[in-house]
Homo-oligomer: A and B are copies of this chain.
Amino acid sequence: MYSIGEFSKITGLSVKTLRFYHEQGVLKPTCVDDQTGYRYYDAAKIETARVIRALRELEVPLNGVAEILKNHEDEGDVLVFLERHRQAIEQKLRQLTAIRTSLDRIILQQREARVAMQNATFQVQEKVVDSQVIAGVRMKGRYSECGKGFSQVGRRLGRYINGKPLLLIYDTEYKEEDADFEACMPVSRETSAEGISVRRIEGGRCVSLVHQGPYEELGRSYQKILDYVKRKGYRLRSPCREVYLKGPGMIFKGNPKKYLTEIQMLIEE
């Protein structure tokens, strides 16, 4: 017979835990001294304790452990139980994996936003953009509605997104009410999904300007870039693009004054 302290050392369960298991009826001492209240455990209880530890290490809840210990005669019951438990674990795993994916996305976004901030000159520049595969939803209405398009793409093709959201603007003049645009996400795969157009868009030489500030103030930057185009005498290829380098985050809307948006206008060579 072992005292609770001895039994604790043997089994690796803390004294507090052993008392708790007694209280819960999961692991009862072999006998209790009714004078002192001391708990005593015999050698056979060591095996029970081992079983409990094994099950707890598998994160089987205590009442499950109790149940298994009660009718562990039928090994089939245990198997069914373990399969159910496996399902529960699997469920948690899926949930946590989804969380990790979201966190990765958020962290990456933040990092990229920083890099974009460091690299931005806020001057009109000429550069070459690569051709890329995008998934887009064509919309008509107000620009402020574009979020719906982005989230539609995100829901369907979330796991394939590998770049910043961009807007293709098909109007050649600014329209408030009935604008014609496409909310796009660069994706790694040419998967198809209903209501979403997945395709490759061309690259090429373009005039680019990074705009800092709220979207309502984009007009100023458009003016700057168009002045430049006119000065150079370039001819533009529609559609114009807005790339959202840094916008409202998934957690914080953030400060609109810090939003970064790159306007890209492809030019004919």
Contacts and interface: CB of A to CB of B under 8 A. Distances in A.
Q: What bracket does the count of chain A residues touching chain B fall in? A: 35 or more
Contacts of A57: 99
A92 B96 CA distance: 8
Given A47-B253, A79-B110, A93 B96 contact: yes
A100 B96 CA distance: 14
A254 B75 contact: yes
A104 interface: yes
B107 A86 contact: yes
A132 interface: no
Given A96-B96, A252-B72, A252-B78, A85 B103 contact: yes
B107 A58 contact: no
Contacts of A128: none
Identical copies of this chain, number: 2
A86 B47 CA distance: 38
Most buried by B among A55, A75, A83: A75
B107 A82 contact: yes
A90 to B, nearest CB: 7
Given A251-B54, A252-B78, A100 B110 contact: no
B110 A58 contact: no
B103 A82 contact: yes
Interface string A89-112: 110110011011011101100110
Contacts of A93: 93, 96-97, 100
B55 A251 contact: yes
A59 interface: yes
